């Protein structure tokens, strides 16, 4: 495609994502469905440019106050993630000069807000939580996440999958913590590989894999994945259960549960029972009261731990939405806890970085439920063959940070119901 035409398309995509009226990944995939002729490298340049605008939106909007052309074109030129020669081929001397002038600005002299590119309601609690580590987190969240795979150990061995990927020209390293993980840098097309279609691997961030390790569902048990969605964690739990016992996958969204079906078919698991529920107090759930060995609550949350992949969330979430989520999290956790039998295990997890959705919810839960006692994360994870588990534990909770662990941000608390 001619550079001018590609830049125009990139500008159009940026125009759509900065409206912030829908999730960026939905907009990007819809855009590519419409523009089918775009090649792999062109798609990559366009998507990464749109994401770069979202990551550093405050900075780019500030810099784009100068220059000419539409605001979206200026943002696109500033954030361009394709080759530089391509960008040069699409612009005239005036834009060239403007870009050079902007590049000469010393970013370190800019106000703090333009350097961290976060709304105050998010920057302030993170600074309070992390102190000097706030800036390494900011830096890490501006990076593109690596691609993590979870090996389906019900079907395959990690070293065999690694060798098969190597044969396909893909270098995959063993993840530092998860006993089932492989990490790939770059974005090779995996969907057509035999090991993907036959269900030997699933794409899953190492952090998500560690939540399944914390629940440690075993052979023959009754297990509930209370907020199963498209079943990323369900599949990991089914594999640790070695396809035995009974694993209920609940969610209020039938659409999300639909997404589980093809993955389940690939996985070879037949112990999973997906069911759409109306809400967390659904009659179907009540029948399971006190009968379940292990319950996972992968709660709906702000998703702010996934900013590397979903940078639009920092602009689309709000303090009000956060408060509503916290009410929901408390209600779901309360209902899910009723299912756990004496001696059974409950795990509450989010992919949020904020205390408000994490420690605060967990602390309020134990205050209201003295029959649940914390299972310290380090020892619990170590017993599930997680390497260097002590690095993941903060005050007994699993706490994953992008800049410390190179995973998405996650929180999880595991409790045992007293017998």
Nearer to ligand SAM, 62 or 316 (CB): 316
Residue 207 CB, shortest distance to ligand SAM, in Å, is: 11
Interacting residue ranges for ligand SAM, rule: CB under 6 A = 208, 226-233, 250-253, 256, 277, 279-280, 298, 300, 332
**CA atoms 140, 50, 408, 173: torsion sign:** negative
Q: Give CA–CA dist 31/94, Å, rounded.
A: 30
Residue 296 DSSP symbol = E
Contact between 304 and 353 (Cβ < 8 Å): yes
Q: Nearer to ligand SAM by C-beta: 99 or 304?
A: 304
User: Cα–Cα distance between 264 and 235 in angstroms, integer?
Assistant: 7
- Say whether 351 is catalytic: yes
d(CA 132, CA 221): 44
Cβ–Cβ under 8 Å, residues 40 and 100: no
Residue 392: CB minimum distance to ligand SAM, A: 18
The annotation status of 282 as a binding-site residue, yes or no, is no
Q: Measured from the CB atom, is 162 or 330 closer to ligand SAM?
A: 330
200 is in an annotated binding site: no
Query: CB–CB of 12/74 below 8 Å?
Result: no
From 158, 232, 167, 173, select the one nearest 194 (Cα to Cα).
167
Q: Which lies closer to ligand SAM via its Cβ, residue 11 or residue 317?
A: 317
Paired residues of 224 in beta bridges:
248, 295
How far is residue 179's CA from residue 158's CA, in Å, rounded to a whole number?
9
Longest dimension (CA), the chain: 75
Helix (H, G, I), strand (E, B) or coil at 342: strand
Our CB check for ligand SAM shows the closer of 13 and 322 to be 322
* 8 Å CB contact between 184 and 145: no
Q: Are 272 and 249 in contact (CB under 8 A)?
A: yes
Which positions make up the binding site for S-adenosyl-L-methionine? 251, 298
The residues that are catalytic are 351
């Amino acid at each position: 495609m001619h550079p001018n035409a590609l830049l125009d398309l990139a500008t159009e995509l940026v125009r759509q994502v900065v409206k912030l009226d829908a999730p960026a990944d939905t907009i990007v995939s819809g855009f590519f469905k419409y523009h089918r002729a775009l090649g792999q490298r062109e798609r990559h340049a366009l998507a990464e440019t749109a994401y770069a605008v979202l990551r550093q939106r405050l900075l780019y909007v500030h810099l784009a106050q100068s220059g000419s052309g539409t605001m979206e074109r200026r943002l696109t030129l500033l954030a361009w993630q394709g080759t530089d020669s391509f960008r040069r081929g699409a612009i005239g001397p005036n834009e060239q000069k403007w870009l050079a002038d902007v590049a000469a600005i010393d970013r370190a002299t800019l106000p703090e807000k333009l350097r961290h590119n976060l709304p105050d309601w998010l920057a302030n609690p993170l600074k309070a939580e992390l102190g000097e580590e706030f800036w390494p987190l900011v830096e890490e969240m501006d990076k593109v996440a690596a691609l993590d795979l979870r090996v389906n150990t019900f079907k395959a061995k990690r070293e065999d999958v690694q060798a098969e990927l190597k044969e396909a020209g893909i270098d995959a390293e063993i993840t530092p913590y998860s006993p089932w993980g492989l990490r790939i840098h770059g974005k090779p097309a995996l969907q057509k590989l035999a090991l993907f279609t036959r269900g030997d691997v699933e794409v899953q961030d190492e952090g998500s894999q560690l939540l399944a390790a914390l629940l440690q569902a075993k052979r023959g048990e009754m297990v509930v994945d209370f907020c199963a969605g498209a079943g990323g964690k369900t599949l990991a739990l089914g594999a640790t259960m070695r396809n035995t016992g009974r694993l209920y996958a609940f969610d209020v969204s039938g659409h999300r549960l639909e997404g589980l079906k093809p993955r389940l078919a690939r996985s070879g698991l037949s112990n999973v029972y997906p069911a759409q529920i109306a809400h967390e107090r659904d009659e179907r759930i009540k029948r399971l009261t006190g009968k379940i060995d292990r319950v996972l609550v992968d709660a709906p949350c702000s998703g702010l731990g996934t900013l590397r992949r979903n940078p639009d969330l920092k602009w689309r979430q709000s303090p009000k939405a956060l408060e509503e989520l916290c009410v929901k999290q408390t209600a779901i956790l309360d209902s899910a806890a009723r299912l756990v039998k004496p001696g059974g295990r409950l795990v509450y997890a989010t992919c949020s970085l904020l205390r408000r959705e994490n420690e605060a919810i967990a602390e309020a839960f134990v205050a209201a439920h003295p029959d649940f006692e914390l299972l310290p994360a380090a020892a619990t994870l170590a017993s599930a063959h997680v390497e260097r588990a002590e690095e993941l534990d903060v005050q007994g909770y699993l706490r994953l940070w992008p800049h410390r662990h190179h995973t998405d941000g996650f929180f999880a608390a595991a409790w045992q119901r007293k017998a």
